[in-house]
Amino acid sequence: MWLALALSTQLLRPAVVLDPVTNMYSKPDALADVVSQAIYGTPVRIIEEQEGWARVETPDEYTGWMPFAAVRGLRDGETGYAAAGRVARVESLFANLYREPDVTLHEPLLTVPFDTRLEVTAEPPDEGGRWIRVALVDGQLAWVARGDVSFDLPHLTPADLPAFSRRFLGLSYLWGGTSTFGFDCSGFAQTLYRRLGVLLPRDAQPQAAWKGLAPVDRKDLRPGDLLYFGSSDRHITHTGMFLGGGEFISATVHEHPVVRIDRLDDPFWDKLFVAARRLK
């Protein structure tokens, strides 16, 4: 018993995601279903290993299998990537990272999604300070356009979320998606609420049951409230966010698989609506 516990504890070791977006699978098999994703630089914990695969836990306490090549284990004494110092956060839907401060010479080293955190190593004033040098997870240096990142994120309230959410209209729906490369419904809701400093549970059903959210009657809905749909309150399969005026936004496969705005009184959605929640 003690030996098993010791081995388990040893495998709870920190790592960092290396790929712009990495799939998390239900099993250590690329043909298994995708359950979630993690974006570049995300801290994860390795909790189990099989040949070529690591089962990891993300900051939202979600677990899944990643190819081992998609993560870098941290050495003793390392604090993680972009965990301290000067950190830039990608504010564009995508940001290209180059090997030099010039977009014309080489293809990007990486293209990373919205909300990626980057370790800043230099901010030269030449050319009006248009470029920022960053260190990548593997230690390589790269350059990102200042216009693609932000250092001081505005503090949003739920009432600010409708305008913020419209930035993502038209992005593709992707099952298991958590980034601007493609969202599923609950991954999109997570992204929106992170701007409130709130980390929602990963999936729609646990979100609706989460103690950080309070039930709301349909007649009392406010912009920024979360909406949940399904066959019953015990079988929730979709989530969106109320915009006001009877409209809501979500990542959906209904009609067109994109982030889109629909009406709550549309017969398709009206019959599926089961619950609404508001941040406590």
Q: Read off the pLDDT of residues 37-50 as tens digits, 9 standing for 90 and up.
A: 999 999 999 999 99
- pLDDT on residue 159: 96
| Range 266-271 contact pairs with CB under 8 angstroms and sequence separation of 24 or more | 269/229
Burial of residue 37 (number of CB atoms within 10 Å: 0-12, 13-18, 19+): buried
Quick one: how far is CA 193 from the chain centroid?
A: 10
What mean pLDDT value characterizes the chain?
A: 94
pLDDT of 82 over the 90 cut? yes
- Helix (H/G/I), strand (E/B), else coil: 8: helix
Same fold across 2-73 and 158-279: no
160: DSSP letter: G
Per-domain residue ranges of the chain = 2-73, 87-150, 158-279
| pLDDT classification of 5: cutoffs 50, 70, 90 | very low
User: Per DSSP, what are the bridge partners of residue 53?
Assistant: 50, 67
> Which amino acid is it at 270?
D
The CATH number corresponding to 2-73 among 2.60.40.1080, 3.90.950.20, 2.30.30.40, 1.10.443.10 equals 2.30.30.40
Say whether domain 158-279 belongs to CATH 3.90.1720.10.
yes
Which helix (H) or strand (E) segment is 6 a member of? helix 2-11
| pLDDT classification of 6: cutoffs 50, 70, 90 | very low
pTM above 0.85, yes or no: yes
- Top-tier CATH class for 87-150: mainly beta
Of residues 154 and 110, which shows the higher confidence score?
A: 110
> Where is average pLDDT lowest: 58-67, 122-131, 226-235, 253-262?
122-131
- pLDDT on residue 2: 34
pLDDT of 211 over the 80 cut? yes
pLDDT digits over 91-127, tens only?
A: 999 999 999 999 999 999 999 999 999 999 999 987 6
**13-35 burial string, b = 16+ CB within 10 Å, else e?**
bbbbbbbbbbbbbeebeeeeebb
- Helix (H/G/I), strand (E/B), else coil: 68: helix
Closest CA to 201 of 181, 228, 182: 228
> Where is average pLDDT lowest: 7-16, 79-88, 91-100, 141-150?
7-16
- Kindly report the backbone phi and psi dihedral angles of residue 208, in degrees, each rounded to the nearest multiple of 5, phi listed first: -65, -25
pLDDT of 28 over the 60 cut? yes
Closest CA to 30 of 64, 71, 56, 58: 64
pLDDT digits over 241-250, tens only?
A: 999 999 999 9
> Where is average pLDDT lowest: 50-54, 153-157, 177-181?
153-157
